[in-house]
Amino acid sequence: MDPCLGTCCTMLSCNICGVTVTSEPDMKTHLLIVHMENEVTCPFCKLSGVNYDEMCFHIETAHFEQNELEKNFERINTIQYGTSNSRKDSTLQCRMEVNSSIHSACASNHPKISAQGPPNNGILKHKGFYSENLTESRKFLKSKEKQSDRTKIKGSIYEAMYSPPECPFCGKIEGCSQDVETHVKTEHADLLDTPLEDCNQPLYDCPICGLICTNYHILQEHVDLHLEEGSFGQGMDRVQCSRDLELAQQLQQEEDRKRRSEESRQEMEEFQKLQRQYGLNNSGGYKQQQLRNMEIEVNRGRMHPSEFHRRKADMMESLAVGIDDEKTKTSGIMEALYRYYQNAATDVRRVWLSTVVDHFHSSFGDKGWGCGYRNFQMLLSSLLQNDAYDDCLKGMSVPCIPKIQSMIEDAWKEGFDPQGASQLNNRLQGTKAWIGACEVYTLLTSLRIKCRIIDFHKSTGPLGTHPRLFEWILSYYSSEREGSPKVVCISKPPIYLQYQGHSQTVVGIEERKNRTLCLLVFDPGCPSREMQKLLKQDTEASSVKQLRKFVGNLKHKQYQIVAVEGVLSSEEKIARRQASQVFTAEKIP
């Protein structure tokens, strides 16, 4: 301890930085040099960038309690320094240690002495001293806070420097430092005279916030509070995360629901489009379409009302007996072609023709969807004029389209092609459903007519052509190529030719002088007036041109044909019905 410090001098402490000086002029000089001219920094929260008066106002308002505690600690040190030099050094050292204990228990910005180990009895005694002192100090600060006038905050620091000394434990104000010391000795002797078993007591700092504690148990309780706060924060974080996850799941579910709804809507639109395209939209069948289109013709002035009623009566009669009214039929074309090739067609080396085939074209009732039915009528017209098929077609005439639909449904009921029946909902009558090679094969087989399906499922030539298709049809019509006449009429029926969106009937094949092949086909889309041009005495080449299909004309991705080869026995019919449970076609290549 500096010997120049006696009882006659009062130590002054800077409320901003804590520096202790011996006189008021020194304090003013310190404040002017350190805090007025230099940057002022708050000792409690490190606030800077303000002038001295603003900093004083900040400390008095924001750190009022901490500031008063610091004042109490400084006054206690002042009392200790002001005692007589004749006091024993051990008593002074004991008082300083007590003050150090109080200061270390409630402030963490003082120098720390890290130590480990369990608490001892001296530390427990300090705990009681610390608690009572802190309680009394807080009571004093609260009473003073209520009585202070906020309008005099700026001058409060200077008042604290020159105010009469007061007791740090009970707040009693005395006239001088000696009276305060006497008061503390007499009234609070039990606190000052508590012996310290270990002056070098260990201090415990909090590993989380750095607070210094003099008691191991206090530190443990303090750390437990941190952990409880952390657990609470983690729990709140988990709750928030759970809510965020739930919200994210709800948003994802809503997005998935909208996506599925949109996909379902698009699928339904595509399905309805396909239904309309293939006549499965319950919009009526042959009869309804026939009447509707004839009414349109009457409204447009293209058909007389009397003609409408006459055609309607003929249609109703045809539907009643199940026989085609033959209004779209053109006969005698094969004979006309035979004469043409005998007398003309000099560029053709050889030609093979089916014997008798009638042409049927689409009418008001089946326009846009009836090509498959019309091609079946063409094929059946040839079979009905071939004696080899009289046994299985005895007493049959060319049926109308609704009758053909009924015959296919009967074949399904017998057990033919259950997969195809399921795709068409086991119903054709009253609809505009398309039929293809499988339905024609099913119907012919149910009539005991031996036939086969051949699937040319991919291109076999350049530029997407199918030369293998032409070669197969040539082999079907011709068994001997050399030494035969130019025009060969064979007894074999025509061939049903199916491709995407349409079907036709192959009635012959040309072998031209340049060794290229050309199919002769009947198209149900060609009206009767065009086909009847072939019936003239001198058939022109331009009329035959509409029948010709060269290799370069057939470039669809896939073609299927149905070729008739004879008659089935009852056992063969049963075997083929069983085989149609899993329908397969012969593929080339």
| Other beta carbons less than 10 A from residue 408's beta carbon | 26
* Cβ-Cβ contacts under 8 Å for 218 (sequence gap 6 or more): 105, 127, 204
Strands 487-490, 348-354: pairing kind: parallel
Distance from chain centroid for Cα 30 = 71
Is residue 207 reached through a cis peptide bond, with omega within 30 degrees of 0 on the bond before it? no
Q: What is the number of other CB atoms lying within 10 angstroms of the CB of residue 206?
A: 15
For 454, counting Cβ atoms within 10 Å of its Cβ (0-12 exposed, 13-18 middle, 19+ buried), the class is buried
Alpha-carbon distance of 205 to 214, in angstroms, equals 9
Q: Which two three-digit tokens encode residue 532?
A: 């009847």
By the 8 A CB rule, do 35 and 169 touch?
no
What separation, in Å, do the N-terminal and C-terminal C-alpha atoms of the chain show?
115
Q: What are phi and psi of 560, to 5 degrees?
A: -125, 145
Got the DSSP string for 105-143? HH-SSS---B--S---HHHHHHHHHHHHHHHHHHHHHHH
d(CA 351, CA 342): 10
Q: Are 184 and 79 in contact (CB under 8 A)?
A: yes
**Residues belonging to the active site:** 371, 502, 523
Say how far apart CA 261 and CA 263 lie, in whole Å.
Answer: 5
Cα–Cα distance between 39 and 50 in angstroms, integer? 7
* Cα 33 from chain centre: 69
Burial of 275 (0-12, 13-18, 19+ CB in 10 A): middle
Cβ–Cβ under 8 Å, residues 59 and 156: no
